Amino acid sequence: MASAARLDLDGNAIKPMTICMIGAGGFIGSHLCEKLMAETMHKVLAVDVYNDKIRHLLEPATHPWSDRIQFHRINIKHDSRLEGLIKMADLTVNLAAICTPADYNTRPLDTIYSNFIDALPVVKYCSENNKRLIHFSTCEVYGKTIGSFLPKDSPLRQDPAYYLLKEDASPCIFGSIEKQRWSYACAKQLIERLIYAEGAENGLEFTIVRPFNWIGPRMDFIPGIDGPSEGVPRVLACFSNNLLRHEPLKLVDGGQSQRTFVYIKDAIEAVLLMIVS
C-alpha cells in the first residue's frame, strides 16, 4: 500500500500528480515505477515498447496501485499518441535511450538517433504544452579531464585544477570524430543544449539528470543465460559472465580504468526528490 506520509522539501504534503514516464520498462524506469507505486499516490503513464521488467506491477489487476499505472506500448520514433500522453501528465520523465557502451562503436547511427533525434519530439511537446521535463542524460557529457592528456609522470597530475571537473567552468573535451565511442556523449550533450535553450527562450521547466553508472537488479544480462548470446553487457555483468564460465576477468586498459557506481535504490530516492521539489 502506498504511503501518504511523504512530504516535500518544505515539509508540505505532496499533491498526487500524473507522470508520463518514457522508457518505463527499462532498468531505471522499472525501479522508479516500483518506488512511485509503493511510496506515493502519483499516477504513472508508463510508455515503452516492452514491459517485462514492470509486468509484476501491472499484473494481477488486484494490486492496490492498479488504478495508478497504465502501460502504453509506444515507439516514440513515430507515434502520434505521445503528445496526448504528455498533455495528460503534469510531468514527463524521459528515460528512453541506447546506453550500452558496446553499442556506441557498433551502432553509432542508432545511438545518435535514439539519444538526440528521438528525444526532440519529447522536448517539443513539453515546451509547447508547458509541461515540466526531467530528462536523463549521462555523466559522459563531462568528457575527459585536462589531466588525462598530461604525461603520466607529470607533477601537474597532482594538481586538482587538472583533474577535478567543475560543472560550469571545466572545458568539455571529447574524442575525435572517428572515435565513434563518443557518439553517445555528443548526442546527449546536444539534447541537453536544446533543452537548456528551450528553457531560456520559451520557459520550459526542466531538470537534467547525469547518472554515474547506476547498478542493481534488472540492469543487465548474462550472455546466453538471461540475454542474447552474442551481446556484450556492461562491466559488472561481463565480470559475472566470466566468473560463471570460469574464465579470467577481462579488464579494460589492464585494470587502469576507473568507474563510479551508485546503487539503484539510492539513486531512485534522489529522483523522487527531484520529482517533488
Q: Among 48-52, 94-98, 249-253, where is mean pLDDT lowest? A: 249-253
Listed in order, strand segments (DSSP E) in the chain are 18-22, 43-48, 69-73, 91-94, 132-136, 206-209, 214-215, 262-263
| Residue 273 amino acid letter | L
Percent of the chain with pLDDT over 70: 93
Q: Residue range 225-231: average pLDDT?
A: 62
For residue 122, give the C-alpha cell: 519529447
Reported as a single tens digit per residue, the pLDDT across 121-145 is: 999 999 999 999 999 999 999 998 8
Q: Is the pLDDT of residue 205 over 80?
A: yes
Strand partners, 91: 19, 132
- The sheet that has 69-73: what strands, in order across it? 69-73, 43-48, 18-22, 91-94, 132-136, 206-209
What residue type is assigned to position 103 of the chain?
Answer: D
Indicate the Cα dihedral angle 273, 274, 275, 277, nearest 10°: 80
Greater pLDDT, 45 or 236: 45
Indicate the pairing of strand 91-94 with strand 18-22. parallel
> Cβ neighbours of residue 204 under 8 Å, at least 6 residues apart?
123, 126, 127, 133, 195, 198
Give pLDDT, residue 236: 77
pLDDT tens, residue by residue, 23-60: 999 999 999 999 999 999 999 999 999 999 999 999 99
* Nine-digit cell string for 81: 499518441
Model pLDDT for residues 76-92, shown as the tens digit of each residue: 988 889 999 999 999 99
Give tens-digit pLDDT for 162-192: 888 888 888 889 999 999 999 999 999 999 9
* Residues annotated as catalytic (active site), given as ranges: 184
pLDDT score at 28: 96
